[in-house]
Amino acid sequence: MNNKENIFQQILSKKIIADIIYKDDLVTAFNDKKPQSPIHVLIIPNIFIKTLNDVNHNHELVLGRMLLVASKIAKKKHINKSGYRIVINCNNHGNQTIFYLHLHLLGGRKGLKIFF
């Protein structure tokens, strides 16, 4: 698959409509169409990065912005005090299904424990 066929690229180029809730020069955030939680927001860089394994020092600003935007959205959606989860999947065994780096912001209910 080339980058132009990727669903996130199509959202950024406005070929696919998404419920965008935040956009700046580095990142875009939108509600997931198949939410796994009452609040499920995807935050993507505006530049193509295939997986977390592909980041380098040039991506530090965009990665930091992704986390900052997640925190801002959590506050805006009033889940900052009750809590939320940030998830980045990487490659097949990490359950990454869309090969474009993205962050999941999940909240609105108590999440499953994955670590003890």
Q: Respond yes or no: is residue 102 known to be catalytic.
A: yes
- Write down the pLDDT at residue 42: 98
Q: Is residue 112 part of a domain?
A: no
CA distances for 69 relative to 24, 43, 91, 97, angstroms: 10, 8, 24, 23
Domain at 67, CATH number = 3.30.428.10
- CA-nearest of 96, 94, 95, 75 to 84 is 75
106 pLDDT above the threshold of 60: yes
Q: Is residue 25 part of a domain?
A: yes
Q: Is residue 24 part of a domain?
A: yes
Domain tally for the chain? 1
Q: Is residue 74 part of a domain?
A: yes
Q: Indicate which residue of 57, 78, 102, 104 is catalytic.
A: 102
5 pLDDT above the threshold of 80: no
97 pLDDT above the threshold of 80: yes
Q: What is the pLDDT of residues 32-63, one digit of tens each?
A: 999 999 999 999 999 999 999 999 999 999 99
Q: Is residue 116 part of a domain?
A: no
Q: What is the pLDDT of residues 58-93, one digit of tens each?
A: 999 999 999 999 999 999 999 999 999 999 999 999
Q: Is residue 91 part of a domain?
A: yes
Q: Is residue 114 part of a domain?
A: no
Domain of residue 90: give its range.
3-107
Q: What is the pTM of this model?
A: 0.91
